């Protein structure tokens, strides 16, 4: 897994070490944007339950993934559930088309922590003076649900074009050309 996390640093605290004198300090009202590049390993499991009657079909796919990060102390947990209902136009017409509507639930939570001195701080380099300064970032989605609309067009039994659009507070789009053997 490769990705990044963006946040705003609002405050920091730690100890300044002047050799024989140590001073505890707190810095408030920093309000500085910060980006942390991430990499790690992801594993998980999922399932799909599907059924239909004549031209009507319904399905629910669900997955759980966990990512352990290698750059800093951290992990990302993700649960995604997507129910859909649709219509297969190819059963009663010459249109090799399937269309559906649905929703997607995502519960993604991540906790990142580490030592400030290990970070590429750029303009926030002054924070590295805090010898024992640590950071903890807890992030989750502001909106867990969004709506979906999608379609599948079958050019031949071996070539299928699939596309899906997510809209609402969270937006997504994918398109894929599948080859079947």
Q: Please indicate, yes or no, if residue 86 is contained in any of the structural domains.
A: yes
Q: Please indicate, yes or no, if residue 172 is contained in any of the structural domains.
A: yes
- Claim: this prediction has a pTM higher than 0.75: no
Tens digit of each residue's pLDDT (9 = 90 or more) over 80-127: 999 999 999 998 888 999 999 999 999 998 887 877 666 665 545 555
Number of domains in the chain: 1
* Cα–Cα distance for residue pair 40/118, rounded to 1 Å: 17
Q: Residue 129: pLDDT above 60? A: no
* Cα–Cα distance for residue pair 112/139, rounded to 1 Å: 9
Q: How many CB atoms sit inside 10 A of residue 139's CB?
A: 14
Higher pLDDT: 59 or 94? It is 59
Residue 165 has, within 13 A of its CA and on its CB side, a CA count of 5
Q: Please indicate, yes or no, if residue 7 is contained in any of the structural domains.
A: no
* Biggest CA pair distance of the chain: 85
Q: Please indicate, yes or no, if residue 83 is contained in any of the structural domains.
A: yes
Q: Residue 73: pLDDT above 90? A: no
Contact 120, 127 (CB under 8 A): no
Q: Please indicate, yes or no, if residue 56 is contained in any of the structural domains.
A: yes
User: For residue 66, what are the domain limits?
Assistant: 41-179
User: What DSSP character marks residue 149?
Assistant: E
Q: What's the CATH number where 108 sits?
A: 2.40.160
Q: Please indicate, yes or no, if residue 3 is contained in any of the structural domains.
A: no
pLDDT at position 86, please?
Answer: 98
Q: Please indicate, yes or no, if residue 5 is contained in any of the structural domains.
A: no
Q: Please indicate, yes or no, if residue 162 is contained in any of the structural domains.
A: yes
Q: Which residues does 4 contact at the CB level (< 8 Å), separation at least 6?
A: 35, 36, 37, 38
Higher pLDDT: 163 or 34? It is 163
Which residue spans within the chain are E strands per DSSP? Answer: 2-9, 12-17, 22-27, 32-53, 56-69, 73-88, 97-115, 134-140, 145-156, 159-167, 172-179
pLDDT at position 92, please?
Answer: 84
The mean pLDDT of the chain is 85
């Amino acid at each position: 897994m490769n990705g990044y996390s963006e946040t705003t640093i609002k405050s920091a605290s730690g100890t300044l070490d002047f050799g024989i004198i140590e001073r505890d300090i707190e810095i408030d009202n920093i309000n500085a944007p910060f980006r942390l590049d991430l990499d790690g390993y992801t594993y998980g499991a999922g399932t799909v339950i599907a059924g239909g009657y004549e031209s009507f079909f319904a399905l629910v796919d669900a997955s759980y993934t966990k990512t352990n990060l290698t750059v800093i102390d951290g992990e990302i947990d993700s649960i995604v559930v997507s129910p859909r209902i649709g219509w297969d136009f190819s059963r009663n017409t010459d249109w090799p088309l399937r269309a559906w509507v649905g929703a997607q639930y995502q519960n993604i939570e991540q906790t990142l922590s580490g030592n400030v001195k290990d970070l590429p701080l750029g303009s926030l380099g002054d924070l590295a003076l805090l010898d024992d300064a640590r950071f903890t970032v807890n992030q989750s989605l502001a909106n867990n649900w969004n709506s979906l609309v999608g379609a599948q067009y079958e050019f031949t039994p071996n070539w299928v074009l699939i596309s899906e659009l997510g809209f609402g507070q969270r937006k997504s789009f994918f398109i894929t050309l599948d080859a079947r053997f």
